[in-house]
Amino acid sequence: MTDTPVTDARVPAPLQEAAPTVTAAAAADHHLPQFHVRLPRGYVNDPNGPIDIGGEAHLYFQSRPRVDLDVPVEWGHATSDDLVHWTLHRPAIVPLPGGADSGGAWSGNTVLHDGVVRAYYSGKVDHSPFQSVLLAESTDGGNTFGAPVQVVADPAADEAITMFRDPFVWQHDDGWSMAVGAAAADQVASVRHYRSADGIDWTFVGDLVTMPRETVHGVDTGEGWECPQVITIDGSDVAIVASWSHADGPGDVLAVPLTGDPRPYRIDDGQHFYAASVMRTGSWGPVLFGWVTEGRTPQWTEQAGWSGAISLPRRAWIEGGRLRTEPHPAVDVLRAGGPTSADGATIDAQAEVVLHDPVTGRIRFRFSDTEFLDVVVDTDADTLTVDRSCASADPRADRSPAVVRRPFDGASDRPAVRVLLDGSVVEVFTSAGRSVTTRVYPVQAPPWTVEAPTGATWWPLGGPVDPVFRSARS
């Protein structure tokens, strides 16, 4: 995929054989999330190829050891047996100098084939107009991968393709399918479809879905689609794509039904969710992750020394023809004590607040007298608004609001509103399976307080897990 402004040809970083040292400044940074997969320092973006290997979740992600987009991207690696407590490992794929990914090992996914973990991904070479589709294999359970080989030909010149990247492979019928994101010179976005009997020799069979650039319900569908994913739930196929344009870069994550109504829609209504990645099958059912982007200036991010995180795992389902998500039930292990009344509660930088019924009012996270985040419910307008206009006294923080229309499902047993706060990361979920992922950067450090309608409850986040990621020799 393509970076947001703030990272690519690179000398491999030194292997980390022990827990990375966290500087005193980072340790005191209350904006650092503690329960979202990230690096202690450096740059994190797209989640790649989450896979269940023998009951252990392996999550790969785009990473750089520094907040420097000139450093070629590699595949970071974390594992978990519960989707919550993660162990960081050495990078699983590092660009090979002079190789097919010398300019960066970009986005893709993983599959298990006869005991071998196969990583399909985009390899960047600085002089090439495309990121070529590569295959690298792991025979040690997904910890390290061998040298990559190109397995799909780049588009021909007469196809007028201007962007081509991010393979997604899944087992289908008696063989394998691959989706690759593309943009054309006439601003037609597409998900190209390839088939293979063995996962090595691939044939282009047409487009899974294609769409001229347009605005649908206020959403720009993009001139191209990157990071395509295909999820199948109860017999329904949905393509998940990240809208993109040459001029503006990343846009929104869209769901495009492959059966039924083909109109795309956003799967997260926040400003800071991009490049979704799905675990189609496994011990935890269909699971979705996303890249939590930054909401502050590049200069501030570089000063902090870290950027980006991976969203909490989300359970995905289809209802009323729409892909919906909520925090995966595994996330509940983070709840420590409680629940207790939220109104007037004193909280740290990690907390969950739940509004059980949709009542007009607001949940306010008060950081200081002048800094606060409001999650506003308006039952008459049938909207939920995440208002960040006063969330930071620092002018370098993004203050734009997010609005969800028709956010509630009265027939659901899910809470009307569920807000998870982890440092600067805010994830909001509603009873209709809608979500808002956003960022806040209050100057005031915790403790903070909560003001909430009667009946709202809260939990500190901590539970039986250590909030600091473990690092393993691998």
- 8 Å CB contact between 438 and 386: yes
d(CA 45, CA 429): 22
Q: Which two tokens stand for residue 108?
A: 């893709």
CA–CA distance, 260 with 266 (Å, rounded to integer)? 17
CB 432 within 8 A of CB 407: yes
3-state secondary structure 350-401: EEEEEECCCCCEEEEEECCCCCEEEEEEECCCCEEEEECCCCCCCCCECCCC
pLDDT of residue 470: 64
What is the CA 204 to chain-centroid distance, rounded? 28
Does pLDDT of 412 surpass 90? yes
Token pair for residue 28?
Answer: 């005191």
The segment(s) of the chain belonging to CATH 2.60.120.560 are 335-460
Structure tokens at 52: 């269940």
The pLDDT of residue 471 is: 59
Strand segments (E) across 147-187: 149-152, 161-172, 175-184
d(CA 180, CA 167): 5
Residue 337: the pLDDT is 85
Per residue in 254-278, pLDDT tens? 999 998 778 899 999 999 999 999 9
User: Is beta strand 402-405 parallel, antiparallel or unpaired with respect to 203-212?
Assistant: unpaired
pLDDT at 320 over 70: yes
Q: What is the pTM assigned to this prediction?
A: 0.92
How far apart (Å, rounded) are the C-alpha atoms in residues 266 and 221?
10
3-class DSSP assignment, residue 21:
coil
Strand ranges, E, within 213-321? 215-216, 219-220, 224-233, 236-245, 249-257, 265-266, 273-279, 287-292, 306-307, 309-310, 314-319
CATH class of 335-460: mainly beta
| pLDDT score of 17 | 29
Task: Name the fold adopted by 24-327.
Answer: Tachylectin-2; Chain A (2.115.10)
The segment(s) of the chain belonging to CATH 2.115.10.20 are 24-327
> Of 357, 365, 374, 330, nearest to 431 (Cα)?
357
221 φ/ψ angles, rounded to the nearest 5 degrees: -75, -10
Q: If pLDDT is split at 50, 70 and 90, which confidence band does 222 have?
A: very high
Cβ-contact 223, 189 below 8 angstroms: yes
pLDDT of residue 345 exceeding 90: yes
